[in-house]
Structure 1
């Protein structure tokens, strides 16, 4: 694997560790709260990050990813936790899946980072390009989680 691609996996792993550290002390009850002024809660953000990471790889490669079917209705683009009609995965489950995801992606695509696939609607055609996008996306949701967490801590 070329060094630039190894760095992408290092960044994905490091940012994911940072995300998991930020939510380490969040309870299931806190993860359900949608503070005033927010559209989503912490649980939704975590499930969305897990789902979105695989969806982009699936969109690019056309290869089925290990996304539980119900995750699309809970955490896919345009979903909202206010519409949940059933219990979503626990924080422990989501944290486990998120922790396992970077090494799983590395195993699946580590040797295929520059394989050219048909271009996606955002102009990407390699796994390395998708990972740049999804790492950026993770940072956006980490920021939202930090804002929700600050709001929750103020309320207590």
Structure 2
């Protein structure tokens, strides 16, 4: 793995640790609250981040990385109204998110530059997908911070 790739995985780990740190004082009850100004809750945001990172890798590689049920709960356009008794809990999602960077590095660390047919966004390597998903994680980390502020007013 070259220095650029090591830096990418370091960023992925660091940003995920920052997200999990932000969640460290959030209760399960708070994770379910949806303030008036929002469409989703903290739990949904976590599931969406988990799904999104694997989804883009799957779009690119065609590898089977997650249950299709996750798309029905956390995919684009879904809301917590789509949750049922099988939807992963707040604590389960935190554990999945904690483990995800390690799993991706383990499975794809030596394939970052492998080329695939491009996605509709023009991404054709796993490295490009990870850059996109790290950016996306930053957007949802801010949404989670905003949710926490509104919930705790």
TM-score bucket of the superposed structures, by smaller chain: over 0.9
Superposed CA offset, 1:6-41 (max 9, x none): 111100000000000001111111111110110100
What is the rounded CA distance, in whole Å, between the counterparts of 2:139 and 2:109 in structure 1? Answer: 25
Q: Deviation per CA, 1:81-125, whole angstroms, max 9, x where unpaired? A: 133343632221111100000000001110011000101000100
TM-score by length of 1: 0.94
1:9 aligned residue: 9
**Matched-pair contact (CA < 8 Å) for 2:118–2:124:** yes
CA distance 1:18–1:103, shift in 2 (3 Å): same
Q: Identify the residue that residue 152 of structure 1 maps to in structure 2.
A: 151
Gaps of 5+ in 2: none
Tell me how far apart the structure 2 counterparts of residues 18 and 25 of structure 1 sit (CA, whole Å).
13
2:21 is aligned with 1:27: no
Question: What SS does the aligned partner of 2:152 have?
Answer: helix
- My pick for the range that moved more, 144-153 or 85-94, is 85-94
Distance 1:87 1:22 in 2: 25
Corresponding residue of 2:72: 73
Further displaced range: 32-41 or 69-78: 69-78
What's the C-alpha RMSD, in Å, of the aligned pairs?
Answer: 1.1
The 2-side partners of 1:128 and 1:109 are apart by: 9
> What are structure 1's unaligned runs of at least 5 residues?
none
Matched, 1:133 2:137: no
Bigger mean CA offset, 98-107 vs 87-96: 87-96
Q: Is the 8 A contact 2:48 2:75 kept in 1?
A: yes
Aligned counterpart, 2:42: 42
Which residue matches 1:108?
A: 107
Residues in 2 aligned to 1:48 and 1:118: alpha-carbon distance in whole angstroms: 24
- Larger deviation, residues 22-31 vs 53-62: 22-31
